[in-house]
Chains A and B, each alone.
Chain A
Amino acid sequence: MGHHDVSDGKTCAGGRREKYLAQLGRFADYCFVPLTVLPTITLSVAILGFPLLLSLIMSFVAWSIDEPVWEAEFVGLRNYRDLLADPVFVASLFLTLGYTAATVCLEIVVGLAIALLLNLNLPYIRFFRVALIVPMMVTPIVAALCWKLLLDPTYGLVDYLMRSPIIWLGDPMLALITVGGVSVWQNAPFVALLVLAGLQSLPKDVMEAATIDGATRIAQFRHITLPFLSPYLLVALLLRTIFEFRAFDNVYVMTAGGPANATLVLSIYVYQTSFFSFDLTLASAASWVMLLVVLATCLFLIAAMRRREPD
Chain B
Amino acid sequence: MTTDTTTKDTAPGAPAPGTTILDARGVTMRFGGLTAVNGVDLTVGSGEIVGLIGPNGAGKTTFFNCLTGLYIPTEGEVRYKDKVLPAKSFKVTAAGVARTFQNIRLFGNMSVLENVLVGRHTRTKEGFWSAVLRGPGFHRAEKASRERALELLEFVGLAAKADHLARNLPYGEQRKLEIARALASEPGLLLLDEPTAGMNPQETRATEELVFAIRDKGIAVLVIEHDMRFIFNLCDRVAVLVQGEKLIEGDSATVQGDERVVAAYLGEPLANDPGAAEAAEVEAAEAAQASGADTTTDTAAGKENDR
Q: Answer yes or no: do A and B interact.
A: no
